[in-house]
Amino acid sequence: MKTWVIVKRIIRQTVNDKRSMGLILIVPLFLFTLIYFLLGDSEYSPTIAIHGLPEQLVVELKEQDVTVIDYGMEEGKAAVKDETVDAFLYLEQQEMVLLIETSDAVKSSVIQKAIQNATKELNPGGGMRTEQLYGDSEESMFNNLGYVLLGVISFFLIFILAGISFVRERTNQTMERLMITPVKRWQVVLGYTLGFGVFAMLQSILLLAYVKWVLHMSIQGSLLAAGCVMILLSMTAVCMGAFCSIYANNEFQMMQFIPMIVIPQIFFSGLISLDTIPYHLGVLAKVMPVYYACDALKAIIIKGATLSEVVMELLALLIFIGLFFILNIFALKKYRRI
Amino acid sequence: MLIEFKDVSKSFKKQQVLKEINLQMKEDEIFGIIGPSGAGKTTLIRLLIGAISADEGKIRLSDYQVPDLKALNILGYMPQNDALYNDLSGEDNLLFFGGMYQQLKKAELKHRVKEVLELVELSEDAVKKVIHYSGGMKKRLSLAVALLHSPQVLILDEPTVGIDPLLRKKIWDEFYELKKQGKTIIVTTHVMDEAIKCDRLALLYNGSIIACDEVEALLNRTKNHSIEELFLAQGGKQV
Ligand SMILES: Nc1ncnc2c1ncn2[C@@H]1O[C@H](COP(=O)(O)OP(=O)(O)O)[C@@H](O)[C@H]1O
Ligand SMILES: [Mg+2]
C-alpha cells in the first residue's frame, strides 16, 4: 500500500518534469533516428570490386546502387588495400567472400546491407563470409552496432534518470524526511524501483516499436523476447543508478559515474569482440549487465532467437536486479538504521 | 517523562558536536532549544528522530528506545530546510507524506489535508507546483506536512524563519492549541523573541547544554532579564 503511494508519487513527479520525460521518451527516439540516418539512407554509394560472381548477382548489386568493377583475384585484394574500392566480393570454392576495409563502420554497413539485399533475392539464406582487412573478427563492427546501441542507450538514459532523481532526494533532504515516517526500507526501495520501472518499461516498448515499425530495423527473432531483455536491462539501470547515487553528493558527482559505470560497459557490450581483448580482460564482461543484454539482443535481432533461447541472459539480468535491490535496502540504513 | 536524553554524545569525524547531553521533555509542553548557529541544534533533533545514531548515551521516546520504527508513528518532524518535492503540487506533497502513515485512512487524509492547508493559509495555492512557491510558502507547507498526522510529538527545526509576523503568531497560537490537547512540541531557534514563548528552554552552546529551565526562571537569573546574558556569561559570542 505504501509502496503504491510511492510508485504513484514517482510517476506524477516524473510526468510533471518535462525534461525527465524528454530524456526518457524523446531522446532515445531522436538518437536512433540520428543513427539511422548516419548509418542507413546516406547518399553514399559504394564501389565494390568483384570477381567470378554470377551475372544475376551483378545485376542485383547494380540495382542496389553499387558501382561494380570486375577485377582479378589479386588485383581486387590490392584495390581494397589501397582503398581504390571499398570492398572486394568474390567467390571462393562456391562460397561468397567479402573482403572489406573496416576502419569506416558506416561504409561497411552500407556495403553489407547492399550485398545482403542483393543476395536475398537470388539465394535467400545463402551465407557469406566477411573478411576484414584489419582485425580477424568474423563479425563486422557494424553488424553489432544496432543492438549494442539499443542496449547501451536504454541503460544509459535510465541510469541517469534514476540516479539523478535519487541524488536530488538526498540534496533536498526529502529522503531523510521520508525515512522518518514509519515506512519500511524495502517498501521505499520497491516503490522507487517500480516507479522508475514504469518509465523504463515505457521507454523499452516505445524504442523497440520505433526501431521496428518506423525505422524498419529487421528483428529476426521474437519481439516479445527483445522487449523482455530491454525491460529487464532498464530495470537493472534503475537499481544500479539508485545504488551509485548513494556515493554521489550532487548531480555532478552522479555524472562522474558515467565514465566509471557506463562507458566500460559499452566496451564490453559486444562492440569489441571479447576474444580479442588481451589479458583475458574479456571475463570482466561477466559482471556487466549490458553485456548480457546485448548478447541476448544480438541473438534475438540477428540470429532470430526466441524467448526460451535467451533465458540464461534474462536470468543474469534478474540476478543483477535482485542483487542491487537488496544492496539498496541496506544502503538506506544511511538514513535510518531500522 | 515523555522524552529523555541520557549522556548523549555525538561526533562527526573528529569534531565533537554534542557532549553528554542530558535532557527531559514532558507531555503537554513547548520545549525550546536555543543556541547560535552551529551549536548542534539540528544534530540534537536528528538524533531524536533516529536519522543519525548517538556515539554514546541513550534516547528514549515514550515507551520506545530510539531508533524504533513504531516511534515514528507518533513523531512529526519539520526539517530546517524545506524537504519538499518541487515537481509536485502542495496538495500532492501532503497526500504523499500522509500516505506513509497507516492510521490515516483515505477519506480522513483528504480531510486532514484540507485542514492543514487552511491552517497554514495555502488553500488557494494547493494545486500549484512547489517549485513556484516562495520561500515562506514552502516553509508553511513543510509545517503542514509535519502536522498532518496529528503527531503526539512535534519536532520543529527553526520553524518560523522567513515567516511574516502575522502568520508566525498564528502558528504559535496553533502550538498552544496543540499543547492544550496534550501534545509535546520541541522547537529549535536562534531568536530570543521566539525562545521566550516556550514553556521550558534549553540553552545549547558549543554542543553542551549550559542551562535548562522554565523560561521565567532563566530570565530571573539575569540582571537585564534577557537570555543573551546567559550566553555571554559563558564567554561566548553574541547570539
Ligand atoms: N553530517 C555532518 N557531517 C559533519 N559535520 C556535521 C554534520 N552535521 C552537522 N555537522 C557539524 O556539526 C555542527 C553542528 O551543526 P548543526 O547541528 O547543524 O548546528 P545548528 O543546527 O545548531 O546550526 C556544525 O559544526 C556542523 O558543521
Ligand atoms: Mg540547524
b/e map B16-40, b = 16+ CB within 10 Å: bbbbebebebeeebbbbbbbbeebb
B236: pLDDT strictly greater than 70: no
| Contact predicate B105/B132, CB 8 Å | no
Residue holding cell 537493472?
Answer: A236
B114: pLDDT strictly greater than 90: yes
Q: How far is the CA of B79 from the centre of ligand 1 (A)?
A: 14
Q: For position A140, what pLDDT does the model report?
A: 42
Q: What is the mean pLDDT of residues A103-125?
A: 72
Which one has a higher pLDDT value, A148 or A5? Answer: A5
Q: For ligand 1, is residue B184 a contact (CB within 6 Å)? A: no
Which one has a higher pLDDT value, B42 or A134? Answer: B42
| Contact predicate B228/B190, CB 8 Å | no
B64 shares contact with chain A (CB less than 8 Å)? no
Q: For position A124, what pLDDT does the model report?
A: 58
pLDDT-wise least confident of A41-45, A162-166, A174-178: A41-45
pLDDT-wise least confident of A112-116, A288-292, B198-202: A112-116
Is B101 close to A338, i.e. CB distance below 8 A? no
CA dist., res. A185 & res. A168, Å (int): 18
- pLDDT digits over A324-334, tens only? 999 999 998 88
Q: What percent of chain A has pLDDT over 90?
A: 32
Identify the CA nearest to B43 among candidates B227, B188, B146, B234.
B188
Q: For position A267, what pLDDT does the model report?
A: 81
Residues of B with Cβ-Cβ distance to A338 under 8 angstroms: 50, 67-69
- Chain centroid to Cα A156, Å, comes to 10
Q: For ligand 1, is residue B38 a contact (CB within 6 Å)? A: yes
Q: What is the mean pLDDT of residues A160-169?
A: 91
Which one has a higher pLDDT value, B171 or B123? Answer: B123
Q: For ligand 1, is residue B42 a contact (CB within 6 Å)? A: yes
Q: What is the mean pLDDT of residues A72-101?
A: 83
Identify the CA nearest to A159 among candidates A265, A235, A226, A232.
A235
End-to-end CA separation in angstroms for chain A: 20
List Cβ neighbours of B154 (8 Å cut-off, separation of 6 or more). Answer: B76, B78, B146, B147, B175, B178, B183, B184, B185, B186
pTM above 0.90, yes or no: no
| Beta bridge pairs of residue A96 | A91
| Longest alpha-carbon distance in chain A | 80
CA dist., res. B179 & res. B81, Å (int): 24
A121: pLDDT strictly greater than 80: no
Q: What percent of chain B has pLDDT over 70?
A: 97
Report in angstroms the alpha-carbon separations of B165 from A250, A305, B124, B161, B227: 35, 71, 20, 10, 21
- pLDDT digits over A270-321, tens only? 777 666 667 777 777 888 899 899 889 888 887 788 888 899 999 999 999 9
- pLDDT digits over A38-52, tens only? 765 556 778 888 888
CATH of segment(s) B1-62+158-239: 3.40.50.300
Q: For position A139, what pLDDT does the model report?
A: 41
Is B79 close to A173, i.e. CB distance below 8 A? yes
B86: pLDDT strictly greater than 70: yes
Q: For position A36, what pLDDT does the model report?
A: 76
H or E element: which one contains A106? helix A105-122
Is A180 close to B84, i.e. CB distance below 8 A? no
| Domains recognised in chain A with CATH numbers | 2-38+140-334 (no CATH), 47-122 (3.40.190.10)
Sign of CA dihedral B55, A169, A237, A11: positive
A77 band by pLDDT with thresholds 50, 70 and 90: confident
Identify the CA nearest to B81 among candidates A164, A337, A165, A175.
A175
Nine cell digits for residue A85: 574500392
Strand order in the sheet with B75-78: B75-78, B153-157, B184-189, B30-34, B200-205, B208-214
What number is the ipTM of this complex?
0.90
Min Cα separation B79/chain A (Å): 8
Q: What is the mean pLDDT of residues A84-103?
A: 81
Which one has a higher pLDDT value, A22 or A338? Answer: A22
- pLDDT digits over A233-263, tens only? 999 999 999 999 988 888 899 888 888 888 8
B30: pLDDT strictly greater than 60: yes
Q: For position A275, what pLDDT does the model report?
A: 67
Q: Which ligand is nearest to the CA of B46?
A: 1
**Cα Rg of chain B, angstroms:** 18
Q: For position A1, what pLDDT does the model report?
A: 85
Average pLDDT, chain B: 90
Substitution target in A1, A3, A9 with the highest count of B β-carbons within 10 Å is A9
Q: For ligand 1, is residue B181 a contact (CB within 6 Å)? A: no
Average pLDDT, chain A: 84
List Cβ neighbours of B190 (8 Å cut-off, separation of 6 or more). Answer: B34, B35, B36, B37, B41, B158, B239
- pLDDT digits over A6-20, tens only? 999 999 999 999 988
Nine cell digits for residue B188: 529549535
Q: For position B10, what pLDDT does the model report?
A: 94
B133 shares contact with chain A (CB less than 8 Å)? no
B193 band by pLDDT with thresholds 50, 70 and 90: confident
- pLDDT digits over A286-297, tens only? 888 998 998 898
Min Cα separation A235/chain B (Å): 23
b/e map A4-25, b = 16+ CB within 10 Å: ebbbbbbebbbebbeebbebbb
Report in angstroms the alpha-carbon separations of A126 from A97, A122, B54, B168: 12, 9, 73, 82
Q: For position A338, what pLDDT does the model report?
A: 77
Which one has a higher pLDDT value, A269 or B14? Answer: B14
Is A336 close to B67, i.e. CB distance below 8 A? yes
CA dist., res. A47 & res. A49, Å (int): 7
B171 band by pLDDT with thresholds 50, 70 and 90: confident
Q: For position A141, what pLDDT does the model report?
A: 44
Helices A141-171 and A27-39: angle between axes, nearest 10 degrees: 160
Identify the CA nearest to A215 among candidates A40, A45, A63, A65.
A40
pLDDT-wise least confident of A80-89, B56-65, B154-163, B205-214: A80-89
A134 band by pLDDT with thresholds 50, 70 and 90: low
b/e map B132-171, b = 16+ CB within 10 Å: ebeeebbbbbbbbbbbbbbbbbbbbbbbbeebeeebbeeb
Q: What is the mean pLDDT of residues A119-140?
A: 61
Q: What 3-state DSSP class applies to B45?
A: helix
CA dist., res. A46 & res. A68, Å (int): 9
Sign of CA dihedral B131, B136, B140, B143: positive
B239: pLDDT strictly greater than 50: no
Q: For position A313, what pLDDT does the model report?
A: 92
Identify the CA nearest to A140 among candidates A168, A110, A163.
A110
Q: For ligand 1, is residue B40 a contact (CB within 6 Å)? A: yes
H or E element: which one contains A327? helix A311-331
Strand order in the sheet with A95-100: A67-70, A47-51, A87-92, A95-100, A129-132
Ligand 1 closest atom vs CA B45: 17
**Which residue is closest to A4 within chain B, CA to CA?**
B99
B85 shares contact with chain A (CB less than 8 Å)? yes
Show me where the domains of chain B are located.
Answer: 1-62+158-239, 77-151
Which one has a higher pLDDT value, B172 or A147? Answer: B172
Q: How far is the CA of B11 from the centre of ligand 1 (A)?
A: 9
